[in-house]
Amino acid sequence: MSATDQEASVSNNRSTAQPQRGVSRAQKLLMVALVCIVTAGVVVFTGIWPQEDAVIVESAPIAPAPPAPPVEEPPPISMPEPAITTIIPTAEPAVEPLPSLFESDDAVRDALAAIPLGTVGQQYLMPSSIIERSASLVYLTAQGDVPYKLVPIARPKASFPIVDDGTQVVADPEGFARYDSITRWIESLDAAAIIDAFARFLPLFREAWGFYGEDPAYFDLAVIETLDTIIATPEIDITDERLIRKEAVWIYENPAIESLAPMQKQILRMGPSNASAIKQKAMQVRALWLTTLAEPS
User: Tens of pLDDT along 233-244?
Assistant: 999 999 999 999
How confident is the model over 45-70, as a mean pLDDT?
48
pTM here is: 0.67
Domains of the chain, by residue range, sit at: 101-294
Q: For residue range 66-85, what is the model confidence (pLDDT) as tens digits?
A: 565 665 666 666 556 666 66
With cut-offs at 50, 70 and 90, classify the pLDDT of residue 160: confident
Q: Is the dihedral of CA 236, 240, 241, 244 positive or negative?
A: positive
How do residues 88-117 score in pLDDT, each as one tens digit?
Answer: 666 666 667 899 999 999 999 999 999 999
The CB density around residue 199, as the number of other CB atoms within 10 Å, is 16
Query: What is the structure's pLDDT at 84?
Result: 63
* Low-confidence winner among 153-162, 227-236, 244-253 (lowest mean pLDDT): 153-162
